[in-house]
Amino acid sequence: MVDFQLERFDPSLNGPVLLIILDGVGIYRGANENYPGNAFDLANTPVLEKLISSAPISTTLKAHGKAVGMPSDDDMGNSEVGHNAMGAGRIFDQGAKLVSRAIESGYIFNDDTWKKFIGTKNSPGFALQNHQRSVHFIGLLSDGNVHSNIEHLFALIKKCHEEGVKNLFVHTLLDGRDVPETSALIYIEKLEAFLSSIDRDYAIASGGGRMSITMDRYEADWDMVERGWKTHVAGSGRMFHSAKEAVETYREENPGIIDQNLPAFVIEKNGVPAGPIQNDDIVIFYNFRGDRSIEISKAFTDKNFAKFKREPDVKVNYAGMMEYDGDHKIPPEYLVNPPSIKKTISEYLVKNQIKQYAISETQKFGHVTYFWNGNNSEKFDETLETWKEIPSDRISFDLKPEMKAREVTDELIRALESGEYHFLRVNFANGDMVGHTGSLKASVKAMEVLDECVDKLIQSSEKCGATVIITADHGNCDQMYEVDKKTGEALKNEDGRFLVKTSHTLNPVPFLITGKLSHSFSLNPEAEDPGLGNLASTILNLLGFTPPSDYLPSIIKKNN
């Protein structure tokens, strides 16, 4: 049994501690000092700028690559792995790395789910027992390595071919968010070439932009999932001869549209949908990240599903790449086990009677709760944990870059000044969600609103004697234009416009401490090259606790 009782080296350090997570706000580290696409730099943010230059504790943290459990330092971080690392105090191998290892070792194909669904020629699963059944892969078609990787898809398709699967269809969700905004045809052409090399009835059946269909999260817009159901399952929608034709047509009809917003499309064969999902078919959702995989998984597996009318209401054999929600067992069948994250800071705090408060708007609510708590949807203690969700607007966030930041701030100030909580955490979604739209102007506005909100929170913290930590989970709005890696120059397209970047960045994130205890601590030289995983020990130090021995070291140390 784990002993959760922590040593308290200073009982007088009992909070409140406020952690402000500015989602998607990195510190640009490019070679070009005059880089024109840094929304943070272009915005009027006097409060944050002053803190970065003069806060008692000011440094940066690594928020990508191996520092958050990704395969290599060429891999950008994301909100899921970032909040996992922050809440866990340690680094766990994450989705992309877990799946790649499972494929390379062959483990995934020896797993009970794969053997049951596909099987082998000598031990056939559902697909090989009845060749009238089709295998369908649904997922994000890119190599962004945040939600999925096209190489994982190819490996699964290749194995299906080797074992003799006759009919296979891919339902492509187009990215333009974790990869360049209009790169869809690169991946479509790569997939088409791969499928055409297989002498079987393997083809693309449907698709659409990831922010148009299927990949909603936190139940923000079930209409997206319903559109996905109609597209993938019913084969209902505008039909094209190929995915390439669909993309080119939509771009011509909607000048300036980016891949994530492309409408749904269905591929036809002889005038009818080429590959609708039918009863008893095998469906594998090949995204490894959980947040945008849960709702479509519910639609396929929940017997009491009532979010929309499933037409047709098919009964299929469904599996996810991973288990997306371990508490609610979503989905019941999956190919690769997710990281098992125990002993998070939240669990330690409740076992030591520290009352906590977590708040965000819908778009990031799961990150300060589910991901922060180690992929755990439930509270560790109902009486010691309060979670507050502010409903997000259901619009494109460049149209309202302030999002719900002001409402979140007002609610957080009420909680902070109540004196009820020792540790409070908030995620402001603006830098990430607005940054993903590709609008530099809107992202600049988002940063200015965040600066206003941070100012209010610092004033409130001074009033109630709180210590404030400001950081981020990864970069995004700090680099809104693509960059030439050699020269550092922002890239332009053929008509002279900057190439918009909608994905996360490899930049570090700010780490600032101000407020009551900020002068009582200094940077800890033993925390070399710190990352997000070092944050949990830091919070525990500010609360007067000695961190667990297996946690990464604190970023700070108590002054003598």
- Average pLDDT estimate for 162-187: 95
Q: What percent of the chain has pLDDT over 70?
A: 99
pLDDT at 78: 87
Distance CA 495, CA 430 (A): 30
Tell me the β-bridge partners of 477. Answer: none
Contact between 201 and 168 under an 8 Å Cβ cutoff? The reply is yes
Compare 508 and 291 and report the one with higher pLDDT: 508
Domain ranges of the chain: 22-93+341-558, 96-336
pLDDT for 218 beyond 80:
no
Q: What pLDDT is stored for residue 114 in this prediction?
A: 97
- Residue 39 CA to residue 434 CA, distance in Å, equals 11
Return the beta strands (E) in 281-351 as ranges.
Answer: 282-285, 317-322, 334-336
Contact by Cβ (8 Å): 281, 316: yes
What confidence tier does 2 reach under pLDDT thresholds 50, 70, 90? confident
Third-level CATH fold of 22-93+341-558: Alkaline Phosphatase, subunit A (3.40.720)
Question: Class for domain 96-336, per CATH?
Answer: alpha beta
**493 pLDDT band (50/70/90 cuts)?**
confident
**pTM score of the predicted model:** 0.78
Angle at CA of residue 263, ends 189 and 247, nearest 5°: 25
Helix (H) or strand (E) holding 363: helix 362-366
| Geometric angle at alpha carbon 408, from 403 and 409, rounded to 5° | 110
> What digits encode the pLDDT tens for the residues 421-470?
999 999 999 999 999 999 999 999 999 999 999 999 999 999 999 999 99
How far, in Å, CA of 471 to CA of 449, rounded?
16
Q: How confident is the model at residue 538 (pLDDT cuts 50, 70, 90)?
A: very high
Catalytic choice (53, 58, 72, 79) = 79
pLDDT at 154: 98
> What pLDDT sits at residue 328?
74
Per-residue model confidence as pLDDT tens digits over 362-380? 999 999 999 999 988 899 9
pLDDT in the model for residue 1: 59
Question: What contacts 54, CB < 8 A, 6 or more positions away?
Answer: none
326: confidence class by pLDDT, cuts 50, 70, 90: low
Q: Is 197 a catalytic residue?
A: no
Over 60: is that where the pLDDT of 327 sits? no
d(CA 414, CA 457) in angstroms, rounded, equals 10
Averaged pLDDT of the chain: 94
Kindly list the distances between the CA atom of residue 206 and the CA atoms of 169, 190, 242, 391, in Å, as whole numbers in the listed order.
9, 16, 9, 31
